[in-house]
Each structure stands twice: as C-alpha cells, then as structure tokens.
A and B are shown apart, each in its own frame.
Chain A
Amino acid sequence: DVKVTQSSRYLVKRTGEKVFLECVQDMDHENMFWYRQDPGLGLRLIYFSYDVKMKEKGDIPEGYSVSREKKERFSLILESASTNQTSMYLCASINPGGENGYTFGSGTRLTVV
C-alpha cells in the first residue's frame, strides 16, 4: 500500500511566519501535489511536481512556494503566513500512469493567528 505521510496533523502559526509543510511518499511516485481544502470550495490545487526539482503552479499559487529536492519529498512553503491561509492542506501522489487515482496524505490543519 502506498503511504503518503504529512509530518504535522495540526499546526498553529503566527501571521508573517514562514511555514513549511512536509509530505513524503514511499512508492517512488513521480507526481506529487498540494491541495488546500475549504468548505464549499472543494480541493483546490496549489502546486504540483512531476519530477525532482520540477514544479508547476496550480490554480491558487499566490503566497505559496514548493520544493522538491528528492523524489519522495514535496514541501509546501508559506512565505509569510496570513490568516486567509488558515485551511486544511492535503498532499497527494500518483503513479506515472495515473491508473488508480491519487493517494492522499492525512492532511495538515493549519491555523494562522
């Protein structure tokens, strides 16, 4: 079974802080994704990566950046956290053929105060 692990389940950060959300998958997946989940808005794509050191903007990249230095790890960075970034953040990975859909991490609920 593919495992996608997000390092923190709950985080509370202050406005203006730099925040790192970590995601690790153990199945050699090339494709990794960061979504945020908000009630009534579903899951919205922030950034994704098809390979090491490669990144592409999703639908809502403003205020975020990412890092993929190793294939198994995909980090989401909030450069200067703001209260409107309070949300549930979900990491996902998928095998190259995409045959079986995403495997999601358990999520990080971030509160910015």
Chain B
Amino acid sequence: GENVEQHPSTLSVQEGDSAVIKCTYSDSASNYFPWYKQELGKRPQLIIDIRSNVGEKKDQRIAVTLNKTAKHFSLHITETQPEDSAVYFCAARFQGAQKLVFGQGTRLTINP
C-alpha cells in the first residue's frame, strides 16, 4: 500500500550547522510533498511543500529537494537555530487522493 519512510528518527546538530531529513515514498504517481514542523505541545504547521513538477524549492533557510526517479525527497535546514528544534514530518499525497500519508517523524535538536 501507500507508504512514506522517514529517516533519521532523531537528529542532533550544533547550532549553525545544517540538518537534512530524508523521506522515500512508494507510489511513483505521487504529486505533492509537504513538510510539517511540530513544536512541543503545538499543532503541526506546514513549513514548505513541493510539487512533482519541481525539483527544488527554497524559502530562506529551508529547502526541499525532490528526486522522482528515486522516489525520495529531503528537507534541508541551513544555519540552524535553537528555534528549529521540533519534530518534523514529511508527507506525500498519492495520485487521485486528497489524503496525506505521513512519515514517522524526526525529532531535531539544535545544540547551542
């Protein structure tokens, strides 16, 4: 069935360094890939998304890349700051559906 795998489950980086979170998806016809950030005790918030007709998208310190051939997409955070500490979820929308299938989540910790 439809599946999204996310790695790593936890990630710890020094403030100022970069962080990369990777996801793979099962359905090659998937067309939409959002990333959500969930701070402690809060709801998930959309931080960036990419559609299947685009290979890369940037928004200030965050970027997402998509490799359709390999069926994987990645979140890149540069110049990390303490406020980047959160759980991050990737997701994929599979062909013909409105529902999203989520990865397992990555707990990112930025060490000062």
Contacts and interface: CB of A to CB of B under 8 A. Distances in A.
Interface of A: 31, 33, 35, 40-45, 48, 50, 58-59, 90, 94, 98, 100-102, 104-107
Nearest to A56: B99
Contact of A104 (B32, B43, B93, B98): B43
Contacts, number: 53
A31 B99 CA distance: 9
Given A42-B105, A98-B32, A98-B98, A104 B44 contact: yes
A107 B101 CA distance: 18
- CB-CB nearest 8 A-B residue pairs: A43-B102, A42-B104, A101-B34, A104-B43, A101-B46, A42-B102, A31-B98, A42-B105
Contacts of B6: 42
24 contacts: A35-B102, A40-B9, A40-B105, A42-B89, A42-B103, A42-B104, A43-B102, A48-B98, A48-B99, A50-B98, A59-B1, A90-B43, A90-B44, A94-B98, A98-B32, A98-B93, A98-B98, A100-B46, A101-B34, A101-B91, A102-B100, A104-B44, A104-B45, A105-B43
Interface in B28-72: 32, 34, 36, 42-46, 49
